[in-house]
Each structure stands twice: as C-alpha cells, then as structure tokens.
Amino acid sequence: MAEIQYYTKEGLDKLKAELKQMETVERPAISQQIAEARDKGDLSENAEYDAAKEAQGMLEMRIARLQEVIRNARILDESKIEMDKVLLFSKVTIKNQRNNAVMNYTLVPENEADLKKGKISINSPIAKGLLGKKVGDVAEVQVPAGLIPFEVIEISR
C-alpha cells in the first residue's frame, strides 16, 4: 500500500485535472494513433504501431500511478494547523544569519513545491531543518554550501 500524503485542496484538484486530461484527451489520442498504424498493414514491421503501443503502455502506467496517489491523498485542513511551530503548510519567514537575507516560504508536499511561488518541499534540507521550530528558534541547516543558521522570524497560515 502506498503511503498517505497530505495536499492542499488546490494541489489535489490539480492532480485530478491532470488525471482527467490523461484519461479523456491523451488516452483517446493514443488509441487513434494505434488504429491508424494498424491500418497501415503488417504489424511485425510497423515502427509507428510499436511506438504507439509503447506510448499507450507508458500512459496507462502514469494513469495507474496517479490514481493511486489520488486514492491515498488526504486534504489537510489548513485552519487546524498549529501556529506556534513550523509544520507542513506553515508559511514561515526566516532570516539567514550569515548574510541577513530574509526569506518567506510555505512548506508543502513534494509535488506541490514551486520555488518561484515560495513553496518549498517538506523534504528539502531547509524545510527539514525548520520543522518543529518556533519563532525565535535558530535552525542549523546543512546545505551544499555548508551549515547555515536560519532564525524563524514569523509563522503564519
């Protein structure tokens, strides 16, 4: 059994839309490609047919994997998140104590991470270092550049 993962409603809706796209658009398109290739004659020497069948197999595998992720997904009620410490879905303002840079991040599940939007994966070194910390705490985070101290300035929802 796959492990349960937590998502925002927006993140889960995005996964469901991706699944629907695969099932209603991509699957029929590949079926059409297979039918067209089959109509061209000898299947034993038909590269188009082989490629379409392989694409179909890959798509079906992606669909099955996504269906399992959605089955095991749980929406986390962000209104029930504790505000006194850094947890999944916390919005946190941190200060790099080496260069005094202030950064704002939201800790999200791996597949919702988007650095451009300030969403970092709960599995990233910075997020792992911040988990459980409270305002005023300093997290020593091991990153490729070395050990960096980050002070938790603010935690919000």
- Decide which of 60 and 44 is more confident: 60
Domain 5-75: CATH architecture, name and number where available? Orthogonal Bundle (1.10)
What is the per-residue pLDDT for 145?
Answer: 80
37 residue type, one letter:
A
Supply angle C-alpha 76, 88, 5, rounded to 5: 55
Fold of the domain built from segment(s) 78-156: Chitinase A; domain 3 (3.10.50)
What is the per-residue pLDDT for 82?
Answer: 66
- Whether pTM > 0.75 for this model: the answer is no
Residue 104 and residue 93 in contact, taking contact as beta carbons nearer than 8 Å: yes
Q: Alpha-carbon distance 110 to 130, whole Å? A: 16
Q: Where are the domains of the chain?
A: 5-75, 78-156
Residue 17 in tokens: 């839309």
Q: Where are the alpha helices (DSSP H) in the chain?
A: 9-21, 27-38, 47-71, 125-130
Report the percentage of the chain scoring pLDDT > 90: 52
3-state helix, strand, coil in the chain (%, to 5): 45, 25, 30
Note the pLDDT tens digit of each residue in 102-157. Answer: 999 999 888 888 999 999 998 899 999 999 999 999 999 888 888 999 999 999 87
**Within this chain, domains 5-75 and 78-156 share the same CATH topology:** no
